[in-house]
């Protein structure tokens, strides 16, 4: 998307729809470090985002974390 013949490659900003900035930030943190600090209010949105963007392993990890809140 950023390096091919797509419009996004020529822009300075990339819009990622359907995800709030703090959820994206947490998802990126997980992708780069393998861990993330989750609050109860982030659990459902981050599981949905991990599924939507096919982040391998994230959904399972976040679901385990959700169980700790129960």
In the predicted structure, residue 54 carries a pLDDT above the cut 80: yes
Is the torsion defined by CA of 25, 14, 2, 48 positive or negative?
positive
Tell me the C-alpha distance between 58 and 54, whole Å.
9
pLDDT on residue 23: 93
What is residue 13's DSSP assignment? Answer: -
Read off the pLDDT of residues 5-22 as tens digits, 9 standing for 90 and up: 888 778 878 888 889 999
């Amino acid at each position: 998307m950023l390096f091919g013949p797509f419009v996004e490659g020529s822009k300075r900003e990339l819009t990622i729809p359907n995800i709030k900035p703090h959820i994206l930030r947490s998802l990126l943190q997980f992708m780069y470090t393998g861990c993330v600090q989750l609050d109860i209010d982030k659990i459902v949105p981050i599981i949905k985002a991990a599924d939507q963007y096919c982040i391998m392993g994230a959904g399972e990890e976040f679901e385990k974390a959700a169980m700790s809140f129960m």
